[in-house]
Amino acid sequence: MSVSVLVLNANFEPINVCDMRRALGMILTDKATLVLNGRGEIHTSRKTYPAPSVIRLQYMVHRPRIRIKLTRREIFRRDNHTCQYCGKNGGILTVDHVIPRHLGGQHVWTNVVTACSTCNHRKGGRTTEEADMRLLRQPKEPPSSASYVFGRHVKEFSEWQPFLEGW
């Protein structure tokens, strides 16, 4: 029962993803209501319950805006698994600091890019100007929109798409 369920705030803002067991528990304790049943039913010995795909909390939860954590996986996702120097997609990818750390570059969103191992080796510990290499796109922090934050689930759960747009 490890199927993901989208959790909406009382104002229909997407705030989290939980598993079906947790979602069903919130529905049964009247903490949430079923918005979309896209998965059929769950049968117990006494009752049958709809299997939730999207639930909505009964009360408003105030949360600060989500900021995407700077991780290797998120850098690759932001850059669409494409080398930012040569445009090669897939293969062995690495993380490159545009301004190398030993030259004062920091480990921040605006200084890290996805690079194939060939380009990363060619650039070495130099700046892009010194290595005579150009970036395809300037690195920036990814958006904290619901479409981006929960976007990795949309391929698997296409019924979530209408709930993610506009946030």
Domain boundaries, the chain: 4-65+144-164, 72-123
Write out pLDDT tens, residues 38-87.
777 888 888 888 888 889 999 998 877 778 889 999 899 889 899 999 99
**Average pLDDT of the segment spanning 90-99:** 91
pLDDT (0 to 100) of residue 97: 94
Quote the percentage of the chain above a pLDDT of 90.
39
Query: Kind and range of the H or E element at 57?
Result: strand 54-57
Q: Which residues does 57 contact at the CB level (< 8 Å), separation at least 6?
A: 7, 8, 9, 10, 15, 26, 31, 32
Banded model confidence at residue 1, pLDDT cuts 50, 70, 90? very low
Predicted TM-score of the model (pTM): 0.70
The CATH number of domain 72-123, selected from 1.10.30.50, 3.20.20.70, 1.10.8.60, 3.40.50.1470: 1.10.30.50
- The per-residue pLDDT for 48 is 86
pLDDT of residue 121: 92
Measure the CA–CA gap between 5 and 24, rounded to whole angstroms. Answer: 10
Tell me what the mean pLDDT of segment 142-156 comes to.
71
Mean pLDDT for all residues in the chain: 86
Which pLDDT score, from 0 to 100, does residue 40 have?
79
